[in-house]
Amino acid sequence: MRNTAVAWLLPCLMLAVPMAQAEPIDELKQLKMQLQLMQQKIEKLEAAQAKAAAERASEQAAAATQAAATQAAAQALPQMPEPVSNSRSDANAFNPQVSFVLNGGYNASSRNPALFSVPGFALGDSAALADRGLTLNESELNLAANVDNSFYASSTLSLPAGGGINVEEAYVQTLGLPAGLTVKGGRFFSDIGYINHFHPHHDDFIDRSLANRVFLNSIFAGDGLQARWLAPTDTFLELGGELLRGDRFPGGGAARRGTGSWDLFVHAGGDVGFSNSWLAGFSWLNTTSLGRSSFDNTGAVTGTFDGNSTLAIANLVWKWAPNGNPVDRNFKFQMELFGQRQGGAFNTLSYQSRQWGGYVEAVYQPVHGWDIGLRHSLVFAANRGGAVLPGGLFDSAGHRPNRTSLVLGYANSEFSHFRMQFSLDKSQPLTDYQLGLQYIMIIGAHGAHQY
């Protein structure tokens, strides 16, 4: 039995051994085939890379050839000087910025405006009251822009209701001078006092105060030069001076070979907490007049003055806004005090004077868009000399002219304003009750106003 089992196992073992040997042989063949496939793929990738490199080399060679040809052609042309690059930093895409200010309204008064005068004072040609009835007031066209990285230029043309065009301002101003210096040249509103250098559409009231009209002819301007220095301090501190032609009231005649007026001013200001800020200043104006004319409210000449005058101005402004945000609520207190001395001849008669005046005003905005304001202004004079005749221009007869105004304003936006103003004018012994309505529309890009 045992021999029979062995006889059956031997043939089975002989069959199994070749099968066990066949499996490793098949795996080796598969590995060889996979290696061959990977080799083929590697060869194809290397061929593709070589072809791409050849194409890039060909493109670079063609580009180099084209650049060489272009350079050769450019060298063959006449050489032009390269333009000087002047960088600009315009606030608007359109250069220059252009704006147009429309100003109109209605005026009513209990007394004839032609009878207006201020006893004790000789007035300039722009101190008069507005005419009665519906009127188009003086409108303005302004163009302003940075000329380049060193200069800024601005021009304001005024269009009076009676027609014509006047150059109100036209000046150039430096940018980026070292040590906080700024120089301005041309025709400009003087920086003496506070409100003088603003255009009328900036004001909170329809007209300027009685003191501004008497001492500065509403706005004092001139042709000349201005220099300002901004101190490198935490508190705002600015000092400046101007040399002007001297042909504008309170000057006249362009004396001293066209340098008849000069002035000095200092401004200082800062913040008090988060909600309050202030600005104060002092100015000194010296003028020499040759044949300076004065006028009544009809435009007729009342006389001429030859002599010297000095004017001192002190000003203070205080602003409040919750957390410094004036959009919805704000309050502004503003005042200016004037003191003037004059000496010379009026209509060839001796004339000396000491004159004082000022105004104080407050404007409150309780809600967005609406504001209400109150202003009181007064002036008085102490005159002497042969030109002071009883009942004449310089005889104040003990009267102290004053004027009180109440204004209600609405601004639909920063470009549209409406105002109604009631004034109690006691410039003369007889009181004049005045009502004014005003609209102001600003078209185009108009820069932000100063403090």
Counting runs of H as helices and runs of E as strands, what totals does the chain give?
Answer: 3, 17
pLDDT at 49: 72
Structure token pair of residue 433: 């009750």
Between residues 399 and 9, which one has the greater pLDDT?
Answer: 399
Average of per-residue pLDDT across 126-148: 93
Rounded CA separation 1/7 (Å): 10
Rounded CA separation 176/148 (Å): 11
pLDDT at 126: 92
pLDDT class for 30, splitting at 50, 70, 90?
Answer: low
Average of per-residue pLDDT across 374-395: 95
Rounded CA separation 250/196 (Å): 13
Which range, of 7-11, 100-104, 188-192, 242-246, averages the lowest pLDDT? 7-11
Which range, of 27-41, 269-283, 350-364, averages the lowest pLDDT? 27-41
Residue 244: CB partners within 8 Å, gap ≥ 6?
Answer: 190, 222, 223, 224, 251, 259, 260, 261, 262, 263
Q: Tell me: pLDDT of 14 over 50.
A: no
pLDDT class for 10, splitting at 50, 70, 90?
Answer: very low
Rounded CA separation 370/411 (Å): 7
pLDDT class for 56, splitting at 50, 70, 90?
Answer: confident
pLDDT at 81: 41
pLDDT at 262: 98
* CA 405, chain centre distance (Å): 28
Domain architecture of the chain: domains with CATH: 110-134+146-157+169-437 (2.40.160)
**DSSP code, position 179:** G
pLDDT at 451: 79
Residue with the two structure tokens 């809600």: 367
Residue type, 86: N
Average of per-residue pLDDT across 207-230: 97
**Average model confidence (pLDDT) for the chain?**
87
* CA 83, chain centre distance (Å): 31
Q: What is the pLDDT of residues 306-326, one digit of tens each?
A: 999 999 999 999 999 999 999
pTM: 0.79
pLDDT class for 37, splitting at 50, 70, 90?
Answer: low
pLDDT class for 295, splitting at 50, 70, 90?
Answer: very high
Q: Tell me: pLDDT of 92 over 90.
A: no
pLDDT at 162: 80
Give the β-pairing of 402-413 and 276-295. Answer: unpaired
Phi/psi for 205 (5° steps) reads -120, 165
Q: Tell me: pLDDT of 83 over 60.
A: no
pLDDT class for 12, splitting at 50, 70, 90?
Answer: very low
pLDDT at 291: 95
Q: What is the pLDDT of residues 140-185, one digit of tens each?
A: 999 999 999 999 999 999 998 788 899 999 999 999 999 999 999 9
Structure token pair of residue 59: 């493109």
